[in-house]
Amino acid sequence: MQTLALIFPYAVAFTVPLLAASLGGLFSERSGVVNIGLEGLMVSGSFTCAVVASRMETVLGPGHPGALWLGLGAAVVVGALFSLLHAFASISLKANQVISGTAINMIAGSLTVFLARTMTGSGNVRIVLGFIPSDIPVLSDIPILGALFFTKTYATTWLTAAILALAWFVIYKTPFGLRLRACGEHPQTADAAGINVYRMRYIAVSLSGALAGLAGGIILVTYSGEFNGSVAGLGFLALAALIFGQWNPLGILGATAFFGFAATIANVSQVIPQFSRIPGLLLKAFPYVVTLIALVLFSKSSQAPRAAGEPYDQGKR
Amino acid sequence: MNRYKSLFTALAAVVLGLLAGAVFMALSGSNPVAGFYYLFRGGLMNLERIGNTLASATTLIFTGLAVAFSFKTGLFNIGASGQMLMGGLTATAIGLSVQMPRIVLLPLIVLAAASAGALWAAIPGFLKARFNVHEVVATIMMNWIAYWTVYYTIPAYFKGTFLETESRRIPALASFRAEWLTNIFRGSYINMGIFLAAAAVVVIAIILDKTTLGFELKAVGFNRHAAEYAGIHVPKNIVLSMSISGFLAGLAGATYYLGYAVNMQIGVVPSAGIDGIAVALLGANSPWGVAASSVFFGILHSGKGFMNAMTKVPPEIGDTIIAIIIYFAATGVLFTRLWERLTRKRSKEA
């Protein structure tokens, strides 16, 4: 129990950006556009947040919440704008979505380091101080639950929780969500019903860019504190979580928490004796292996959006 | 006519990529003309540099062929990085632990590494053929499984003398570098892999264009259902195509980690696996096109360090240019339409 309480905050901190990025992928894929550029969009968000927050820190003071929130806001905007490149290629030009997404990953990975080197000389951008985890008053006094969920939490965790609830509501309870899902299942029918498929897909892809950008920013202002040109494959882990969670917000919450704990246990297994007996490889490779297994098990009953990955061409039936 | 069209599309992508590179150079406060001058000079100015360019091209030819071959069967092998890692790990393991005459050892390493790559790609191939699991997702997962396998295997069994994060140095006996070749190219990274790569280009061209196997694979790529109706065993061809693709990526791993590099480092996804997609796209999936675009990217790779030393331009501009070229290759339909418009006008006038 004590060990659990010890690693819980770390696991949550690791899960939160994963969840945000994965929800971004959810919007995009539900509209019918596969976005394997999540990794690159996260990198662009992390870079933007580092640049803006570190500049604002010199004005407002180290670790000033205003500087950090401005950084996160900029990450959201840049992520959304950057994802328009993917949207233009895969929606307007009907390009191969996987190649376009790969290009996004590569452009983000090299261009951000290029810009960082131009700005700072080294390829790294550092902020002085990130968010400081704090206890929620009253709620943190609840036995067990309070210690796990309401102590040492980041403000960004609650923001992401709100986004999760909102994403569920928007996708399943609003006309917008219904139209979005229709575009991903059968765009021809959606079009015949008067929905502008191209517009819906543009909105969905830029939402995915915004959320992936936010995710990259969250990594920076919570546990990393420094931009170094990558997010260590978290974008692909988010993609795995999207599939393992079967394209459903609550499934994604479960999948990201599952992956977050596995990764955290692998990271601390050197320090905590109970875990040192589990081979690190098993824990680290685990999310990808279970995703492959899930793909096989659900191959007959997959909840994947049926038109995901296919460009929509109005002229075709 | 079709060949001109794909050449035009490829050239347009390259030109736009270079132009974007020029813009970024100018934005970073450097003179683009000087930047490009040193970039290309750095890749070609003397025998050592040319050797390095060919050494970079060696890896790209293998990964480019791997991606192009899978494309021909209508599959997208985005897992060349992982297959390359597994090939490299197998090659490193043998190179560091087996003692035997070089003439037996090197072929053994080549075969074992290629088989490891083939096996790593056959798994997603099987999942696609049997369970209809999308190969893009499956190969991405396999990439990360390979990444973590290397991450934990190297320090556990082949730990370097000084660093935990790399393997021991590969002994000269097991290295693909040859003294005479290194001497000709004045101490560059070039290695015997270049001959293997050249052979692979020819063999893949023959398989695709002159054999029944190649015909069947391409038929599956053009139209899976028509191929099935014509009596072609589609699942078998999918697994086979992925295996051959992985075989090539495994060769990339062997020649990269035991030829270009001198040991294997952990925590790095080899960029050649992804660059292979760019190479294949630019080469219009033809083996000869792959060879040509590999040499071009090889120049960018080996010239960027020299450019960085001579100007203030960060070396990442090389990768940025490649990335932007991929984006324009993906949006090639723009240029294809432009080409069609241009040629249509001309034929009307005539």
Contact between B274 and A299 using a beta-carbon 8 Å cutoff: no
Compare A105 and A306 and report the one with higher pLDDT.
Answer: A105
| Residue B75 predicted with pLDDT over 80 | yes
Identity of the residue in B127, B147, B316 whose CB atom sits nearest the CB atom of A110? B316
Chain-centroid distance of CA A236 in Å reads: 9
Chain A residue at shortest CA distance from B29: A118
Contact between B149 and A285 using a beta-carbon 8 Å cutoff: yes
What's the sign of the alpha-carbon dihedral B333, B338, B341, B343? Answer: negative
| Chain A contact set for B301 (CB, 8 A) | none
* Model ipTM value: 0.89
Give which of A117, A246, A313 to mutate to test B binding, by max B Cβ within 10 Å.
A117
Q: What average pLDDT does this structure show over B247-263?
A: 95
Identity of the residue in B137, B274, B320 whose CB atom sits nearest the CB atom of A102? B274
| Residue A300 predicted with pLDDT over 60 | yes
> Which residues 115-154 on chain B approach chain A with CB closer than 8 angstroms?
127, 131-134, 136-138, 140-145, 147-149, 151-153
Specify the pLDDT at position A291: 87
Contact between B152 and A280 using a beta-carbon 8 Å cutoff: yes
| Residue B1 predicted with pLDDT over 70 | no
| Residue A124 predicted with pLDDT over 80 | yes
| Residue A274 predicted with pLDDT over 80 | no
Local confidence band at A315 (pLDDT 50, 70, 90 cut-offs):
confident
User: Residue B100: helix, strand or coil by DSSP?
Assistant: coil
Give which of A295, A298, A310 to mutate to test B binding, by max B Cβ within 10 Å.
A295
Contact between A239 and B28 using a beta-carbon 8 Å cutoff: no
| Chain A contact set for B78 (CB, 8 A) | 36, 98, 102
Contact between A239 and B140 using a beta-carbon 8 Å cutoff: yes
Specify the pLDDT at position B245: 97
Q: What is the largest CA-CA distance in chain A?
A: 62
- Read off the pLDDT of residues B223-247 as tens digits, 9 standing for 90 and up: 889 999 999 999 999 999 999 999 9
Contact between A93 and B331 using a beta-carbon 8 Å cutoff: yes
| Residue A172 predicted with pLDDT over 90 | yes
Q: Is B233 left (phi over 0), alpha (psi -120 to 50) or beta?
A: beta
Q: What average pLDDT does this structure show over A220-243?
A: 89
Q: Cβ–Cβ contacts within 10 Å for residue B97, how many?
A: 10
Contact indicator for B191, B178 with CB cutoff of 8 Å:
yes
User: Residue A90: helix, strand or coil by DSSP?
Assistant: helix
Nearest CA among A181, A185, A179, A167 for reference residue A249? A167
Contact indicator for B67, B293 with CB cutoff of 8 Å:
no
Q: Give A130 to chain B, closest Cα distance, Å.
A: 26
Specify the pLDDT at position A83: 96
Q: What average pLDDT does this structure show over B314-331?
A: 89
User: DSSP alpha helices (H): ranges in chain A?
Assistant: 2-30, 38-60, 65-87, 97-120, 145-149, 155-173, 175-185, 187-192, 197-219, 234-244, 249-268, 280-297
Residue B179, H or E segment: helix B179-184
Q: Cβ–Cβ contacts within 10 Å for residue A249, how many?
A: 22
Q: Give A107 to chain B, closest Cα distance, Å.
A: 5
Specify the pLDDT at position B348: 62
Q: What is the largest CA-CA distance in chain B?
A: 72
Specify the pLDDT at position B115: 98
Of the listed ranges A55-59, A64-68, A307-311, B121-125, the least confidently predicted one is A307-311
Contact indicator for A280, A269 with CB cutoff of 8 Å:
yes
Give which of B127, B136, B328, B336 to mutate to test A binding, by max A Cβ within 10 Å.
B136
Local confidence band at B204 (pLDDT 50, 70, 90 cut-offs):
very high
Chain A to chain B Cβ contacts (< 8 Å): 133
Chain A residue at shortest CA distance from B28: A118
| Chain A contact set for B304 (CB, 8 A) | none
Chain B residue at shortest CA distance from A123: B314
Specify the pLDDT at position A294: 86
Local confidence band at B346 (pLDDT 50, 70, 90 cut-offs):
low
| Chain B contact set for A299 (CB, 8 A) | 131-133
| Chain A contact set for B136 (CB, 8 A) | 34, 36, 98
Local confidence band at A78 (pLDDT 50, 70, 90 cut-offs):
very high
What does pLDDT average to over chain A? Answer: 88
Q: Give A237 to chain B, closest Cα distance, Å.
A: 9
Contact between A98 and B78 using a beta-carbon 8 Å cutoff: yes
Q: What is the DSSP letter of A174?
A: S
| Chain B contact set for A284 (CB, 8 A) | 148, 151-152
Specify the pLDDT at position B350: 52
Give the residues across from A227 on adjacent strands: A125
| Chain A contact set for B147 (CB, 8 A) | 233
Structure tokens at A197: 């498929």
Structure tokens at A221: 């202002």
Give which of B130, B331, B335 to mutate to test A binding, by max A Cβ within 10 Å.
B331
Contact between B319 and A299 using a beta-carbon 8 Å cutoff: no
| Separation between Cα atoms, residue A270 and residue B173, nearest integer Å | 37
Specify the pLDDT at position B28: 83
B212 exposure class (CB count in 10 Å sphere: 0-12, 13-18, 19+) = exposed
| Chain B contact set for A95 (CB, 8 A) | 330-333
Residue A125, H or E segment: strand A125-126
Contact between B78 and A89 using a beta-carbon 8 Å cutoff: no
Contact between A89 and B331 using a beta-carbon 8 Å cutoff: yes
Q: How far is CA A213 from each of CA A33, A77, B95, B320, rounded to the nearest angstrom?
A: 18, 8, 43, 20
Identity of the residue in A106, A118, A243 whose CB atom sits nearest the CB atom of B274? A106
Q: What average pLDDT does this structure show over B24-36?
A: 89
Local confidence band at B148 (pLDDT 50, 70, 90 cut-offs):
very high
Local confidence band at A41 (pLDDT 50, 70, 90 cut-offs):
very high
Identity of the residue in B144, B152, B316 whose CB atom sits nearest the CB atom of A113? B316
| CB of B291 less than 8 A from some CB of A | no
Contact between A99 and B330 using a beta-carbon 8 Å cutoff: yes
| Separation between Cα atoms, residue B173 and residue A73, nearest integer Å | 56
| CB of B24 less than 8 A from some CB of A | yes
Q: What is the DSSP letter of B259?
A: I
- Read off the pLDDT of residues B46-66 as tens digits, 9 standing for 90 and up: 899 999 999 999 999 999 999
Chain A residue at shortest CA distance from B136: A98
- Read off the pLDDT of residues A17-26 as tens digits, 9 standing for 90 and up: 999 999 999 9
What does pLDDT average to over chain B? Answer: 91
Local confidence band at B10 (pLDDT 50, 70, 90 cut-offs):
confident
Complete DSSP assignment for B145-170: HHHHHHHHHHHHHSB-SS-TTBBPPP
Contact between A296 and B136 using a beta-carbon 8 Å cutoff: no
Local confidence band at A106 (pLDDT 50, 70, 90 cut-offs):
very high
| Chain B contact set for A99 (CB, 8 A) | 277, 281, 326, 329-330
